[in-house]
Structure 1
Amino acid sequence: MRALIAAAAGLAAALALVLTITAIGAPPGETSPEPLLTTVPKHP
């Protein structure tokens, strides 16, 4: 029973964190038009 209560408390805390971040919103700014590099460039 304690495990169920602990799991419920953890889930409630995680949900509260997600809702808080959603309410605050994304920071202002612009995204870069250049794509991100996903591999290391090869040097000759």
Structure 2
Amino acid sequence: MRALIAAATGLALAIALVVTVGAVGSPAGRTSPEPLLTTVPSHP
């Protein structure tokens, strides 16, 4: 029974954390206009 209560408490805390982060939103900022390089450029 204690394990069930502990699991329910942990789940409730995890859901509360997700809801809180969702309500606050992502931090304001800018993204770089330059695209990220995903491959190594070829050498001349």
- TM above 0.5, yes or no, is yes
The aligned counterpart of 1:35 is 36
Secondary structure of the equivalent of 2:19? helix
Sequence identity (%): 64
**TM-score normalised by the chain length of structure 1:** 0.70
Question: What is the Cα-based RMSD across aligned positions, in Å?
Answer: 1.8
Q: Across the two proteins, how many residue pairs are aligned to each other?
A: 39
Structure 1: any 5+ residue segments left out of the alignment? none
- TM-score by structure 2 length? 0.70
Which AA in structure 2 matches 1:35? L
Aligned to 1:24: 24
* Higher Rg of the two aligned structures: 2
- For residue 6 of structure 2, what is the amino acid of its counterpart? A
Displacement after TM superposition at 1:32 (Å):
2.2
